[in-house]
Structure formats: C-alpha cells, structure tokens
Amino acid sequence: MIASIITLFILLKYFPASLTNLIVEQRVVVEVLSMGFLLVTVIILGSAKLIEGEGLAGLLGTIAGYIFARKTADLVSAGQADRSTAALRRQLLHAELEVVDASGELQRLKADAGTSPTKSQASKVARAEEKLERAKGRAQALKDAQQRGVELDSPSGQL
C-alpha cells in the first residue's frame, strides 16, 4: 500500500496542476487507495476463514457506512449552500416587490391628498414614506449581502 501511494504521488507530477491540487487537497486518491486496500484485506481475511461471518459482515458494513455517509455529507453541505443562495434571491425579490408596492401606495396617497392635504392624509403620506424608506433599506441590505455572498442567519430573512 505504501509503495502504491508513493508511486501515485510520483505520477502526480505528470497530471495537470489543477487536477493535482484538487486530488491532494481533497485527499481523494489516498482515501480511495486506503479503502481499496482495507476492503481487499478484509476480503482476504474472510476468505482465509481468519474472520468469522459476523465479524466480516460488521467490518464490511462499517466500511460501506463510512463511504456512503461521507458522500452523503458532502452532498448535503453542497445542497445547503445552494438553498441559502436561492433563499437570498427570493428574499431580495420579495424586498424589491415591497419597494414597488410602497412606492405605488405613496404615489396614490399623494394624488389623493392633492395640493392641500388634511392632517389625516398628511399622516398617511408620512407613514407611506417611512414604509418606502424601510423597504428600500431592506432591499439594499439584501443586495449588499448577495454581492458579498453572505448567508442570512434566519430563513425569515431578518438581517
């Protein structure tokens, strides 16, 4: 096994640099070789009747569990990153729609109030302006987060 790993590392200099870096950083080759040799060893010991059936089943099950659990964990972490990016996009879209709604409401209230609004109309216009500013601030914060690639802490989109 050690000779195989050394041979493999010598052969890595003939691969493209990007592939070599990926193989070494991800420890793919070392893990595949290790699992392969471990499986071969367990099978040989089982065939030679040095390991009983229950022990052999336990070892093979443990190896298989390690391999599949590791792959599943990698897939889950990749999926979570995709979901958080999609959630950020949805939140940004929702915030931009809030800006459009608040802007339309403000324009309608200003048109209703005319040139000499009553106190009630002026109050409604002021609240609509505040709502529009909050919506713009939230949309801008989400745009900034999207540009930085920052994940939001909560699914509700609270910053």
What are the residue ranges spanned by the domains of the chain? 84-159
Q: Any idea which residue has 């729609």 for tokens?
A: 97
Shortest CA distance to 146 belongs to which of 84, 61, 98, 80?
84
CA distance linking residue 10 with residue 127, whole number of Å: 71
The pLDDT value recorded for residue 133 is 92
**Higher pLDDT pick, 89 / 46:** 46
Q: What is the pLDDT of residues 128-152, one digit of tens each?
A: 899 999 989 988 888 888 777 654 4
Q: What angle do CA 23, 14, 1 make, to 5 degrees?
A: 60
CA distance linking residue 58 with residue 106, whole number of Å: 69
Q: Torsion angle of alpha carbons 103, 108, 112, 115, nearest 10°?
A: 40
The pLDDT value recorded for residue 151 is 46
Q: What is the pLDDT of residues 79-111, one digit of tens each?
A: 565 566 777 777 888 888 888 888 888 888 888
pTM over 0.85: no
- pLDDT > 70: percent of the chain: 82
